[in-house]
Structure 1
């Protein structure tokens, strides 16, 4: 749960809107925050949006993208020698 201090003017506007639209003040604030967060996410670069997922299920071997050719060649040679 989060508590937020609002200016008297903003609180009055939310109260008036709440009565006018017949919705709770909490719903108005939640909707406003969701819209704000969505707009901020649109501004983020694709890497920033997925950063928390990158490398999550990796092998732990940081050089695989640099040594893949050698690994493939070694596997082929190993298979051919049998």
Structure 2
């Protein structure tokens, strides 16, 4: 039997899921999704994208964009204080 004859040959040839059971400690043994270390049952390709479309989105003040903005503002304030010290 050729490898192309059986449609399950691709699933059998795929990498295995790396998720482990808490109870038994054994690995899942399911086929991992392409580009992911785990199978579809253990979180591959799952989850929401970050941002307003996420169900637990509140106000965005802790988003990456705001955190980077605050860091930039704080850096500018520190530089301004250093310049004021040099002027005095």
TM normalised by structure 2 equals: 0.25
Q: Greater relative contact order: 1 or 2 (C-alpha under 8 angstroms, separation 6 or more)?
A: 2
Q: If you compute each CA radius of gyration, which structure gives the higher value, 1 or 2?
A: 1
User: Which structure: greater helix fraction?
Assistant: 1
